[in-house]
Amino acid sequence: MYVVLSAFLCILGYCYGFQEYSLDVRFRRLSELSLYNSVPKFTSDEFRTFALSKPRNYSLFVFLTALSKHHFTDQLKQVEVCYFYPIRLAEQEFRILADSWKRRSGELFFALADHDRDPEIFQIIRVVRPPSYMGTFLLALFMTIGGAALWFRRVSLSPLLNPSLWCMLSLALIFCGISGQVYNQIRGPPLLHGTPSGEIKAFIYPGSDYQFVAETLIVMMLCILFLHSSY
């Protein structure tokens, strides 16, 4: 019994000691990398070690890039000028920032992760494509055009000022929120619990950590009936 207890205490002490030693080694290794290059290029192992490992007694900014020209599928030179060179300029500005900050503090580090060097880093953080704001831009453009058309045509906006309309819209949003429609959009649950043969098992999930789409519709209908009965 004493042998087992002693072995357990030794293993526990070794784990805690290794955790502190690992933190010190990570900080020293990152300082050495930044000493020779203010913006070192990370591999997937280095990204896990320095960016994802905990605890950390330092701050780290990682600049994600895809600098190879083969990412730009359009062969037109205008596309290359419009998209490729701004990324290069952003990388240069990032290096200037890292060089200026390196002389001020030893607890803030900068690094770079390129897709061609190690695409596994982008898979770790679930970046599968470059962010696109075209949808937001088109929505704002169409709303601006629609508002301008209504303004210049002097269309009467009195129906939009109807209190009953806004009351119904508000109630619809409230019912969607309290019934769990947002949860359905995030988790994508099935309509109900059924077997492969088509037999329906349940409309309501027995636990509190999950729900079916049918359950949210039932809750929404009950809320509507309760509101209607209160009048």
Same domain, 180 and 80: no
Over range 99-126, report the average pLDDT. Answer: 82
Name the pLDDT band for 72 (thresholds 50, 70, 90). low
208 φ/ψ angles, rounded to the nearest 5 degrees: -105, 0
Q: What is the CATH number of the domain that holds 36?
A: 3.40.30
Same domain, 123 and 73: yes
| pLDDT, tens digit, 9 for 90 and up, residues 31-61 | 888 888 888 888 888 888 888 887 888 888 8
Residue 20, pLDDT above cutoff 90? no
Same domain, 115 and 192: no
Same domain, 75 and 163: no
Which domain, by its residues, includes 187? 156-229
pLDDT of residue 145: 92
Angle at alpha carbon of residue 117, lines to 112 and 120, rounded to 5°: 90
Number of structural domains in the chain: 2
Taking the whole predicted model, whether its pTM rises above 0.75 is answered as no
Same domain, 172 and 108: no
Return the percentage of the chain with pLDDT > 90, whole number. Answer: 4
| Domain membership flag for residue 147 | no
Provide the CA 167 distance to its chain's centre, in angstroms: 34
pLDDT of residue 2: 38
Higher pLDDT, 120 or 152: 120
| Domain membership flag for residue 218 | yes
Same domain, 168 and 116: no
Residue 78, pLDDT above cutoff 50? no
* Distance (Å) of CA 184 to CA 61, 131, 188, 190: 34, 24, 5, 9
| Domain membership flag for residue 140 | no
pLDDT of residue 103: 67
Domain boundary among 131, 164, 187: 131
Same domain, 107 and 167: no
Provide the CA 121 distance to its chain's centre, in angstroms: 15
* Distance (Å) of CA 33 to CA 40, 50, 99, 109, 205: 6, 11, 13, 10, 52
| Domain membership flag for residue 141 | no
Same domain, 123 and 162: no
Same domain, 30 and 93: yes
Residue 73 has which token pair?
A: 């599928």
Same domain, 115 and 55: yes
